């Protein structure tokens, strides 16, 4: 564990995976991974609910790169071998679907939106939406990212102790809601906020009740359904208004993400239900993850004043708050964000299901099981990362061949951290999928550029105005749907002299 969060066991003494001794193409007869050790029916669910991150780490440390576990009788395999992960996400991606498990948990929320859609439906949607996430389009969301960060600082007084998680959640919600709905957010803010809050609560895996299906009428589930219906209704009304006003001709030229979706629907890439599903998908996939990324970046900087100072020097060199292009040229800032996403990946685990029997890491995996891919475990593997549990942004920096920064703006340090398309290269030899906070292959996070830009712009805008001092040096993390802090993440605010 890092120097600022509680320690887990695990790490170095992991057994060799089957991959070391067997050929993945099957030249030896592959075997099934060892059976799980959980309780009848429940499987390992108690250990996961108690501390999922710790469970995943221990399971990988004890059993290697392909480790069996069970959840309520569902056969599951934790995959932490980067080459096997690459095969699942890239080379053999067509052999895998997202599958039953995410659909059972998220299907009522995300419907047939991009996150859960499969096959041709997914491909058509992704193709129609991709231009909205090209660099020049994402740049246009930069003003909202900076403006909301300025407002965040305006709400602070010198000496305040603020909870970064709460602050970053409010910030990321405001940015995403505005990016999604444009000016219409003014009317719908409360409906969207209430739904986002209920979604977060419904998928809080610290509560055993979150493992129950949505139709079980717990108070949380009932509130969630009511607020989600209100959100869907509000979005459907806005869509009708946008259509009446004349939608943009192509998805990439829309002013906001809802405009992108309406244009994609006009092109026939989405039906009306899928359009609303996708608006909810953006809200769900894009707001809590970014908030967590910002929380952990700022907390790491608060607990590492020297690194904070270095990033501040870089961003204070601009006359005004930096633009998206300028922060792309800030190596120390970029490295600070990318390292936080390594140490505390907001999505600790995501899932696939093989549609036919496959061989991974030398093991035979049947069709229809859950394959779990865990950035959390892989990002902390000391085979790929020196001193993996320490926050060390300098691992992402290296001297450029010419000794000068590549883009020329914002940095005179001569160090390079690669801009917004590829998160790296980190110094040192390691497999490509030793770092994958945004997933990988054709289904990698469509919002990756948006998120990395948001984290850099928010961090830059804040650090130009305040110094952050850690109040809660140690933070405890929990595997919920995402990697959430178990309690407040407080820092003290010190205003900088003008
Ligand atoms: C730090 C912030 C973020 C992190 C760590 C993150 C992480 C991820 C990961 C790991 C996946 C892949 C899941 C899988 O393959 O099963 C994913 C997919 C996705 N993300 Fe993000 N995400 C972030 C921000 C965003 C934002 C800001 C948006 C929207 C504006 C977004 C929208 C999506 C969508 C729609 C998908 C599904 C893509 C597809 O299947 O084609 N994400 N994200």
Angle CA 67–68–73, to nearest 5? 160
> From CA 145, how far away is CA 450, in angstroms rounded?
10
Calculate how far, in angstroms, residue 444's C-alpha sits from the geometric centre of ligand 1: 7
Question: Which pair of structure tokens corresponds to residue 471?
Answer: 């109040």
pLDDT digits (tens, 9 = 90+) for 121-172: 999 999 988 888 999 899 999 999 999 999 999 999 999 999 999 999 999 9
Q: Report CA(455)–ligand 1 centroid distance (Å).
A: 14
| pLDDT reading at 75 higher than 90 | no
Is the pLDDT at 419 greater than 70, yes or no? no
Lowest average pLDDT, out of 46-50, 69-73, 82-86, 263-267, goes to: 46-50
* Band of residue 42 on the pLDDT scale cut at 50, 70, 90: low
Burial code of 218-257, b = ≥16 C-beta within 10 A, e = fewer?
Answer: eebbeebbebbebbbebbeebbeebeeeebbeebbebebb
List residues near ligand 1 (CB under 6 A): 114-115, 126, 281-282, 285-286, 289-290, 293, 346-347, 350, 437-439, 443, 445-447, 450-451
**Contact, 259 vs 248, CB < 8 A?**
yes
Q: How far is the CA of 452 from the centre of ligand 1 (A)?
A: 11
Q: 378-398 pLDDT, tens per residue? A: 999 998 998 999 999 998 887
pLDDT tens figures, 187-215: 888 999 899 888 877 777 666 666 666 77
Q: Which of 80-89, 241-250, 307-316, 333-342 has the lowest mean pLDDT?
A: 241-250
Of the two residues 199 and 89, the one the predictor is more confident about is: 89
Is pLDDT at 222 greater than 50 in this prediction? yes
**276 vs 7: which has the higher pLDDT:** 276
Gyration radius of the chain over CA positions: 22
Please tell me whether residue 372 adopts helix, strand or coil conformation: strand
Atom of ligand 1 at shortest range from CA of 102: 16
- pLDDT tens figures, 252-262: 788 899 999 99
Q: Are strands 483-485 and 490-495 parallel, antiparallel or unpaired?
A: unpaired
Neighbours of 1 (CB within 10 A): 21
Ligand 1: atom nearest CA of 176 is 30
Q: How far is residue 308's CA from residue 463's CA, in Å, rounded to a whole number?
A: 8
Residue 34: DSSP 8-state: P
Atom from ligand 1 closest to the CA of residue 452: 1
Instruction: Please tell me what DSSP assigns to residue 90.
Output: I
Please give the DSSP secondary-structure letter assigned to residue 393. G
**Which of 296, 343, 447 is the best mutation target for the ligand 1 pocket, counting ligand atoms within 8 Å of the beta carbon and taking the most?**
447
92-125 in b/e form (b: 16+ CB < 10 A) is bbebbbbbebbbebbeebbbbbbbbbeeebbebb
DSSP-based three-state secondary structure for 29 = coil
Cα separation, 24 vs 81, whole angstroms: 12
Q: How far is CA 187 from the centre of its chain?
A: 28
Please name which of 107, 111, 139 lies closest in space to residue 125, comparing C-alpha atoms. Answer: 111
Q: Is 387 left (phi over 0), alpha (psi -120 to 50) or beta?
A: left
Domains belonging to the chain, first-starting first, are 111-347+386-429+437-495 (1.10.630.10)
The residue nearest atom 2 of ligand 1, judged by CA position, is: 290
């Amino acid at each position: 564990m890092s120097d600022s969060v509680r320690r887990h066991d695990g790490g170095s003494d992991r057994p060799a995976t089957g991959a070391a001794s067997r050929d993945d193409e099957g030249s030896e007869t592959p075997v099934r991974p060892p059976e799980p050790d959980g309780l009848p029916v429940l499987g390992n669910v108690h250990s996961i609910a108690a501390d999922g991150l710790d469970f995943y780490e221990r399971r990988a440390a004890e059993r290697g790169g392909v480790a069996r576990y069970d959840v309520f009788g569902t056969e599951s395999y934790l995959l932490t071998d980067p080459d096997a992960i690459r095969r699942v996400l890239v080379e053999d991606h067509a052999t895998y679907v997202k599958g039953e498990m995410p659909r059972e948990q998220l299907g009522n929320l995300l419907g047939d939106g991009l996150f859960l859609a499969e096959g041709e439906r997914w491909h058509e949607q992704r193709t129609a939406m991709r231009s909205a996430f090209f660099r020049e389009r994402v740049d246009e969301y930069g003003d909202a990212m900076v403006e909301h960060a300025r407002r965040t600082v305006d709400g602070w007084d010198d000496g305040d102790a603020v909870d970064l998680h709460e602050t970053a959640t409010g910030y990321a919600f405001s940015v995403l809601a505005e990016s999604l709905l444009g000016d219409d957010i003014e009317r719908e803010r409360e409906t969207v906020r209430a739904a986002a809050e209920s979604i977060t609560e419904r998928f809080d895996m610290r509560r055993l009740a979150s493992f129950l299906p949505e139709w079980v009428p717990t108070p949380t589930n009932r509130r969630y359904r009511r607020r989600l219906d209100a959100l869907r209704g509000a979005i459907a009304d806005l869509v009708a208004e946008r259509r009446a006003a004349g939608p943009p001709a192509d998805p990439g030229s829309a002013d906001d993400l809802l405009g992108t979706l309406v244009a994609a629907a006009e092109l026939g890439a989405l039906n009306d239900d899928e359009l609303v599903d996708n608006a909810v998908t953006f809200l769900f996939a894009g707001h809590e993850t970014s908030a967590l990324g910002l929380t952990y970046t700022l907390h790491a900087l608060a607990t590492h004043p020297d690194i904070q100072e270095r990033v501040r020097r870089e961003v204070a060199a601009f006359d005004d708050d930096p633009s998206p292009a300028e922060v792309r040229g800030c190596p120390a800032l970029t490295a600070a964000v990318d390292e936080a996403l390594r140490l505390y990946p907001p999505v600790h685990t995501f899932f696939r299901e093989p549609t036919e029997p496959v061989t991974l890491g030398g093991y035979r995996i049947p069709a229809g099981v859950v394959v779990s891919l865990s950035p959390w475990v892989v990002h902390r593997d000391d085979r790929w990362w020196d001193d993996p549990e320490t926050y060390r942004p300098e691992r992402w920096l290296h001297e450029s061949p010419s000794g000068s920064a590549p883009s020329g703006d914002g940095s005179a340090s001569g160090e390079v951290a690669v801009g917004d398309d590829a998160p790296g290269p980190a110094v040192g030899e390691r497999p490509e999928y030793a770092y994958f906070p945004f997933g990988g292959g054709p289904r990698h996070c469509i919002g990756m550029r948006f998120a990395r830009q948001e984290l850099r712009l928010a961090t830059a805008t804040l650090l130009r105005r305040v110094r952050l001092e850690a109040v809660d040096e140690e933070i405890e993390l929990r595997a919920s749907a995402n990697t959430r802090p178990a309690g407040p993440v407080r820092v003290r605010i010190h205003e900088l002299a003008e």
